[in-house]
A = this chain, B = another copy of it.
Amino acid sequence: MYRVDPNRAYTIAEIAEQTGLSPDTLRYYEKIGLIRPPERGYSGQREYSAIDLGKIVFVTYLRNTRMPLKKIQEYIAAYNEQDEEKCYALLDEHRVSVEAEIAEWTATLELLKYKLEHFQEVKDGRLSKGELQHESE
């Protein structure tokens, strides 16, 4: 996807550029233990390796699935312990919650569509479904 030189150090700005995360977010992820602290250069600045970059990109992949940061932490912990079953289980658990989310939003949409379809009737008082009514001042 990107041209990555494995023998180079990357600044935080470069990592931000490559991953689409902001430098602040990168430091934040580091602070909460989501990504490993990179090496530091002479003057204390972060020097990310290509390996660091790879790991951060990986985190963004999980984030793309809207996995909560806490769950990503769990995933990474399982990954580091080479617990493939747990990794799979975490992904699958997450899938279940995503499906629940979709179900809820879909129900919401249906409700909204109902309100929209019956809007005129409700306004005219031809329908007394209640959902769009409340008494006037």
Contacts and interface: CB of A to CB of B under 8 A. Distances in A.
Contact of A112 (B95, B123, B135): B95
Interface of A: 1, 51, 54-55, 57-58, 61, 64-66, 80, 84, 87-88, 91-92, 94-95, 98-99, 101-102, 105-106, 108-109, 111-113, 115-116, 119, 123, 130-135, 137
Contacts of A130: 1, 57, 61
Given A91-B119, A137-B80, A108 B58 contact: no
B112 A94 contact: yes
Interface secondary structure of A, over-half rule:
helix
Contacts of A106: 102
Nearest to A119: B88
Nearest to A132: B61
Given A54-B134, A102-B102, A105-B105, 12 more contacts: A51-B135, A54-B135, A55-B134, A57-B130, A64-B111, A65-B108, A65-B115, A88-B116, A91-B112, A95-B113, A98-B109, A101-B105
